[in-house]
Amino acid sequence: MTGDEHAVDSFLRSLHEDGVRHDEQTEDLTKKLRNVTPSTGRFLELLVEEERPASILELGTSNGYSTIWLARAAAAVGATLDSVDRNSDRHREAARNLSIAGFSQFVRLHNQEIDEFLQQHVEARFDMIFLDTDRSRYHEWWPTIRSIWNGKVLVCDNAVSHSSEFQPLLEVLDRDAWLDHGVLTVGRGLLLVRQRDQAKTDGAFVSLQIPGNGL
């Protein structure tokens, strides 16, 4: 399917619809897919194309829906993509979905605890990080995340829908004089963070437009 944009878009649409149905029928929060919205997926793809990071880290793979959006852009700009999730069932689903979409070769999937992954990769460096996992832990993980992140761009989902859960992280960010951060009302809200000395002065970072694509 790689290279066939219409086929990938159709598959993403199907995954999104299946995910919505699954979550509506599932009461157990731990079993919900909780995928990003299509507009968020498209924004992530555009952000990768705009910023052209060499390395991307996604914390919270779920069934690979957001990972496919990131992988398509990563393939286009020649970036590496690592994605981490503790859930073995979701890990297998993500592997299958990435294979169907044709992007398996562009993603390294890690089935392990976030803490464990971070401890094992303290020497790694990532230009872009996407956080979509346990929001209550973001501020605890921040020292390690900050050390492995090059400062290009960091994105967190659910910054509006679950804004209260971001307060501990926001307090940490506010104390870092080298960072700028803000919230975009895309999907359920995206918290964007970047290193201040790399911030663009033309506003391009926050002016990306999300074209309608039927997803």
- How big is the CA angle at 190 (ends 186 and 193), to the nearest 5 degrees? 135
pTM of the model: 0.89
Number of domains in the chain: 1
In a domain? residue 11: yes
In a domain? residue 215: no
Query: Mean pLDDT for each consecutive 10-residue tract of the chain (215 residues)?
Result: 78 88 78 88 97 97 96 97 96 96 96 97 97 96 97 96 96 95 96 77 43 44
In a domain? residue 57: yes
Residue 1 has a pLDDT of 53
In a domain? residue 213: no
In a domain? residue 214: no
Residue 206 has a pLDDT of 45
* Structural domain boundaries, residue 141: 5-200
Count CB neighbours of 177 within 10 A. Answer: 6
Q: Two tokens at 179?
A: 């960072």
What beta strand segments (E) does the chain contain? 55-59, 80-85, 107-111, 126-131, 149-157, 179-184, 190-195
In a domain? residue 87: yes
The CATH number given to whatever domain includes residue 141 is 3.40.50.150
In a domain? residue 208: no
Residue 2 has a pLDDT of 52
The sheet carrying 149-157 orders its strands as 107-111, 80-85, 55-59, 126-131, 149-157, 190-195, 179-184
Residue 118 has a pLDDT of 97
CA atoms within 13 A on the CB side of 169: 26
In a domain? residue 67: yes
